[in-house]
Amino acid sequence: MSVDAHGALREHPDGKSRCWWCGDDPLYVAYHDEEWGRALHDDRRLFEKICLEGFQAGLSWLTILRKRENFRAAFNQYDPSIVASYDEADVRRLLGDAGIVRHRGKIESVINNSRRYAELTAEFGSLDAFVWNFAVEHPEGDRSAPHGIPSSTPSSLRLSKELKRRGWTFVGATTMYAFMQSVGIVNDHVEGCFTR
């Protein structure tokens, strides 16, 4: 595997150049190739991504990716109408689940955000309609080098502030930018990546 002069691209054994961050772990490479940066409009999956990005705070995304199926099982496939009814017994159950990240604040955040989801979708019709309002035509930064991709942007700050105003938690500007990247609201595949 070779890396370009800017450290932004890696040439993989299959001859494809990919963003540097996916390394060579097969799960991470598949996520890069098949999911990350692709436009997502399914409300359940969008909600899941917000929750998982919250869990990722302070950890590597690969850690979360490896536990994703466990998270789905633990949180009823991220069905907000079910998760919104979770109580303290469910929090204790989740804190005992070694298959997920056992962080009380992050677990309680998913439950809280499930309740806020119902309020938001009653107003906007869908989470999809709400979050795609924050799409930007021309993202800032230089997409030819890792240091040119920001950790947050004015759009992610606006999304973060609007969600926080509505009572959502674990939705800081950096977390929301990672969410926006992952669901294709912005395209941060670096220049020369075969999926850009």
Catalytic residues: 31, 53, 61
Report helix, strand or coil for 19.
strand
Rounded CA-CA distance 68/48 in Å is 10
If you search the block for the tokens 């991504």, which residue do you land on?
49
> What amino acid is encoded at 150 in this protein?
P
Rounded to an integer, what is the distance from CA 117 to the centroid of its chain? 16
Tell me the DSSP string of 34-77. HTTTS----HHHHHHHHHHHHHHTTS-HHHHHHHHHHHHHHTGG
Rounded CA-CA distance 162/81 in Å is 22
- In this structure, is the dihedral angle defined by the CA atoms of residues 36, 41, 42 and 46, taken in order, positive or negative? positive
